[in-house]
Structure 1
Amino acid sequence: MKRTIKIIGAPMDLGQLRRGVDMGPSAIRYAGVVERLEHLEFEIEDLGDIAIDRPRTTIDEKSGLRNLQSVTAASELLAKKVTEIMESRSFPLVFGGDHSISIGTLAGISKYYKNLGVIWYDAHGDLNTPETSPSGNIHGMPLAVSLGLGEEHLIKIGEYSPKVKFENIVIIGARSLDEGEKELIKEKGIKVFTMHEIDRLGMTYVIEETIKYLKDRTDGIHLSVDLDALDPIYAPGVGTPVNGGISYRESHLAMELLSESKLITSAEFVEVNPILDEKNKTGNLAVELMGSLFGEKLL
């Protein structure tokens, strides 16, 4: 990994309905992320948070999506900031915010790679489009948008599309998929390790197969960690918790193995909601997982 990490916060809560996730970047910083990564001998530059408007909730008449204009504007701004980080040859580390921020993150990153790989560590597929979404919440759509599917304004962020190819994605931890997402996964052959595979095969196998699958077909790998990938026992402060998730230890093992692979070129940690949390338990967990991702070891 690059030894200079530049942090950017995206205090977005417009991609869904539950308030509080906009305080996620603050919760992660409060948990001591800068100090932890500096202790690992990285040079850290915290660029602060992008500015996001707080309008009243709107419903787009054409698409039925909530807060479409505001999410689009914020995604454009985040893409610009991430592009600046890429231009500086630093490691982009993005804090959310709901998972809709990935639209901007990937728009700012993927143009620097011919075949960007994406590891989507999440309970959900986030592969919905306006036609398949049961809710109209954009935080359930960022991976689809990055694949070039869905609402036109979102797809065109960064002035290019798609940001990533179907065959360059691995979803890990899925246990809540909508019908339209299931159909897309089967139709396009998207590689998914559900909780069934994790339980049956073990996290070591899942990560080793993920690395093997992506290593030769990609020239960079973005890691997108939604804290709801973990079981709510470990990560209560998330907006859409789903029981039966990945364990604390399994997640650390996943981050450790990805660290050892030296293949991760950018990362984001999203959906930390301190309003729903217990004494910043989820914010602290995010920082602990970052420690493992960036090489922290017990001995």
Structure 2
Amino acid sequence: MNKQLSVIGVPMDLGQMRRGVDMGPSAIRYAGMVERLEQLSYTIEDLGDIEIPRPKHQTDVKHDNLRNLHEIAEGTSRLAEAVDQVIENNRFPLVLGGDHSIAMGTLAGVAKHYNNLGVIWYDAHGDLNTADSSPSGNIHGMPLAASLGIGHEKLTGIHGYSPKIKPENIVIIGARSLDEGEKVLIKEQGIKVYTMHEVDRMGMTKVIEETVDYLKDRTDGVHLSLDLDGLDPNDAPGVGTPVMGGLSYRESHLAMEMLHQSEMITSAEFVEVNPILDEKNKTAGVAVGLMGSLFGETLK
């Protein structure tokens, strides 16, 4: 794994309705992220936070059933440019959220540098909605669809090209809350999904082994997009859309350790940490712990 890390914070809370997730990057830094990774001999460059535009009106503004469309498109475009530059500088981009809508910007900046970028989507949700299928109009439920080129052109066209990724290069792990439209899209696109049923039945070791085998020959880089609501709310309470019955703290550390051993992860983001909903910054601490495992921390 590239030992030169560039950290980008994205204080975005426009993709959903619960305030506070914009403080996620600060909470993760406060939980000791830089010190943890420096102990693993990484050189850390913290680029600070992307400036996120605010809606001109305090009321929720929807365009074509998409809440805060223009501001999210602008903010994620800024993120895409920053991530693009990090990779140009031969550094590993580590992005801190913010709500999961930021993944549109991260993927836009990353995928430009690969012919077949793989994506591991570690999440309770599929994030495969569009304006037509979304019950809420919240864009944090749409970034994976937009990155596939499905959805509103202001979201699919971030950073000037579309699509960013191919459906056969995606693996979703930990899904347990999928809308009907997302289920249809998963079947139509042939997206590989390990729901909690598969994780429980197979065990995390087998899930990651299969994921690595599935992606290693078809991709030339792999992005990890980890939503803290992929974990069970008992382990990660500070998230905006908690879903009971999630991945455990121990399972998640095992997954990160195995992904480190695979040597295939070329970029990563950790999203949806909401300190207002948290318990003594517990969820940010979990995020930092998982980063430690992803970047090579071991017990011996």
TM-score, normalised relative to structure 2: 0.98
Root-mean-square deviation (CA), in Å? 0.6
Q: In the alignment, residue 295 of structure 1 is paired with which amino acid?
A: G
| Equivalent residue number for residue 59 of structure 1 | 61
Structure 1 stretches of at least 4 aligned residues deviating more than 3 Å after TM superposition: none
The answer to whether the 8 A contact 2:53-2:74 is kept is no
Asked if 2 retains the 8 angstrom alpha-carbon contact of 1:31 and 1:284, the reply is yes
Alignment check: 8 A CA contact 2:9 2:50 kept: yes
Which residue does the alignment assign to 1:91?
Answer: 92
Gapped runs of 5+ residues in structure 1?
A: none
What residue is the counterpart of 1:206 in the other structure? 207
1:221 aligns with 2:245: no
Match of 2:13 in 1: 13
Distance, in Å, in 2 between the alignment partners of 1:65 and 1:115 is 29
- Please list, as runs of the form range in 1=range in 2, the aligned pairs for 1:1-299 lying within 5 A after superposition: 1-55=1-55, 56-61=58-63, 63-299=64-300
Instruction: Give the residue type in structure 2 aligned to 1:47.
Output: L
SS at match of 1:170: strand
Q: Which amino acid aligns with 2:106?
A: T
- Report the AA paired with residue 191 of structure 1: K
Match of 2:109, SS? helix
- For the residue of structure 1 that corresponds to 2:297, the secondary structure is coil
Letter in 2 for 1:25: P
Shift of 1:52: 1.0
Whole-angstrom CA distance in 2 between matches of 1:86 and 1:236: 33
2:62 alignment partner, SS class: coil
Q: Is the 8 A contact 1:231 1:245 kept in 2?
A: yes
Alpha-carbon distance, 1:60 to partner: 3.2
Please state how far the C-alpha of 1:260 moved relative to its aligned partner. Answer: 0.2
Q: Distance in 2 between matches of 1:275 and 1:191?
A: 34
- In structure 2, do the counterparts of structure 1 residues 57 and 148 end up closer, same or farther at CA, with 3 Å as the change threshold? farther
Which secondary structure state, in structure 2, belongs to the residue aligned with residue 207 of structure 1? helix
Matched length: 298
Does the CA contact (< 8 Å) of 2:253 and 2:290 recur in 1? yes
Paired amino acid for 1:36: R
CA-CA distance at 1:188 after TM superposition: 1.4
- Rate the CA distance shift 1:77–1:204 in 2: closer, same or farther, 3 A: same
CA contact (8 A) 1:99 1:226 kept: yes
Please report the TM-score for the alignment, with normalisation by the length of structure 1.
0.99
SS in 2 for 1:44: strand
Whole-Å separation in 2 of the counterparts to 1:134 and 1:206: 30
Cα contact 1:57–1:66 (8 A) shared by 2: no
The one-letter amino acid of 2:37's match is: L
Identity %: 71
TM-superposition CA deviations, 1:232-267 (whole Å, max 9, x none): 000000000000000000000000000000000000
Query: Contact between 1:57 and 1:67, CA under 8 Å: does it hold in 2?
Result: no
Kindly provide the amino acid, as one letter, of the partner of residue 52 in structure 1.
I
What is the identity, as a one-letter code, of the residue corresponding to 2:169?
N
Unaligned runs of 5+ in 2: none
Q: CA deviation at 1:57?
A: 4.3
Find the aligned partners of 1:76 and 1:176 in 2 and give their Cα distance: 28
